[in-house]
Amino acid sequence: MAHSHEDHSGHDHVWAPDLTKNQGLVLGTLAHSEAPLSAYDILDRLRGDGLKAPLQVYRALDKLVERGLAHRLESLNAFVACADEHCHRKGMIAFAICESCGKVDEFADTVIEERLGDWALAKGFKVARTTMEMRGQCAACIARAS
Ligand SMILES: [Zn+2]
Ligand SMILES: [Zn+2]
């Protein structure tokens, strides 16, 4: 799985009742993917479900990201379903991306958030967006290699 959750089938996000059909399809696709997906990967997988235009996927992704149900990984230009139903209430999220298997773990850390916030405040820097992505190998891949 692409996330720390073992099974997304019972995940609240996927079945959030107020999602549009397209949002539900896109989130479901992300939730069941082993690795992050680009908008075009998502479109490829959903052609059979009636999605034809990249714009439909981008619109759905925008909403899902805005609500914290999915995240955009800047360094990969790809998306993952949120692995933690409360993460969007915790503020800043950091990602650990395995370059071998594609697994993405996410965590929220208030200490990092405070540090960066303090720095920005001290410098008078107006933050629009912060991304934290670690690239490397997950524990499972390291264990498999040794
Ligand atoms: Zn999340
Ligand atoms: Zn891995």
Rounded to the nearest 5 degrees, what angle is found at the Cα of 105, between the Cα atoms of 84 and 91? 50
Residue 78 lies in a domain: yes
Q: What is the pLDDT at residue 90?
A: 60
Q: How many domains are contained in the chain?
A: 1
- Closest ligand to the CA of 97: 2
What are the pLDDT tens digits along the chain (146 aa)? 444 444 444 444 445 678 999 999 999 999 999 899 999 999 999 999 988 899 999 999 999 998 888 999 999 999 999 887 666 556 678 899 999 999 999 988 888 889 999 999 999 999 888 889 999 999 999 999 98
Q: What is the pLDDT at residue 125?
A: 97
Give 74 Cα–ligand 2 centroid separation in angstroms.
Answer: 19
Residue 1 lies in a domain: no
Give 99 Cα–ligand 1 centroid separation in angstroms.
Answer: 19
Residue 4 lies in a domain: no
**Pair 2, 103: CB distance under 8 Å:** yes
Give 92 Cα–ligand 1 centroid separation in angstroms.
Answer: 9
Rounded to the nearest 5 degrees, what angle is found at the Cα of 2, between the Cα atoms of 62 and 84? 65
**Pair 35, 103: CB distance under 8 Å:** yes
Give 80 Cα–ligand 1 centroid separation in angstroms.
Answer: 9
Residue 43 lies in a domain: yes
DSSP states along 16-81: -TT--HHHHHHHHHHHT-SS-B-HHHHHHHHGGGT---HHHHHHHHHHHHHTTSEEEETTTTEEEE
Give 67 Cα–ligand 2 centroid separation in angstroms.
Answer: 27
| pTM (two decimals) | 0.79
Residue recorded with tokens 């390291």:
142
- DSSP, collapsed to helix, strand or coil, labels residue 7 as coil
CA quadruple 112, 115, 118, 120: dihedral positive or negative?
negative
Residues counted in the chain: 146
Rounded to the nearest 5 degrees, what angle is found at the Cα of 116, between the Cα atoms of 111 and 118? 95
Residue 7 lies in a domain: no
Amino acid at 55: L
The values of phi and psi at residue 39, to 5°, are -60, -35
Q: What is the pLDDT at residue 139?
A: 97
Give 2 Cα–ligand 2 centroid separation in angstroms.
Answer: 9
Q: Which domain holds residue 101?
A: 12-145
Residue 2 lies in a domain: no
- Closest ligand to the CA of 138: 2
Residue 52 lies in a domain: yes
Q: What CATH number corresponds to the domain at position 107?
A: 1.10.10.10
Residue 93 lies in a domain: yes
Give 55 Cα–ligand 2 centroid separation in angstroms.
Answer: 31
